[in-house]
Amino acid sequence: AQSVTQLDSQVPVFEEAPVELRCNYSSSVSVYLFWYVQYPNQGLQLLLKYLSGSTLVKGINGFEAEFNKSQTSFHLRKPSVHISDTAEYFCAAIAGGTSYGKLTFGQGTILTVHP
């Protein structure tokens, strides 16, 4: 079964600093990867996705992620964070086969941006 591991449960950072949120997935013949963000008391919103093609994907709000097949990683990065980026971030995967379409989520990383 597909599994997703987010290596940091909490990441504190100062405003305008760069940030990286780490995500590893279990290897699969075919895998599709997503990052979702959840602001306090709100639903999940898609930041970006990797389906195929270029391994560097750009998303909304200045975020980007790089798919690394050899390291089975899909880390999320932003070069300069804002206070408004404070939220919980979830890495998720869809594996091929019978699980096709079902999202498997990591445990989430709480990003806190300090002034």
- The footprint of other proteins (CB under 8 A) covers 32, 34, 36, 42-46, 49, 51, 90, 92, 94, 98-108
Which lies closer to other proteins via its Cβ, residue 57 or residue 81? 57
Partners of 111 in beta bridges: 11, 87
Residue 70 makes CB contacts below 8 A (sequence gap 6+) with none
Q: What 3-state DSSP class applies to 83?
A: helix
The residue (of 60 and 83) whose beta carbon lies closer to other proteins is 60
Provide CB contacts within 8 A for 43, sequence distance 6+: none
How would you classify the pairing of strands 109-114 and 10-14? parallel
Q: Shortest approach of other proteins to residue 44 CB, angstroms?
A: 4
Q: Shortest approach of other proteins to residue 60 CB, angstroms?
A: 12
Residue closer to other proteins by CB (options 13, 105) is: 105
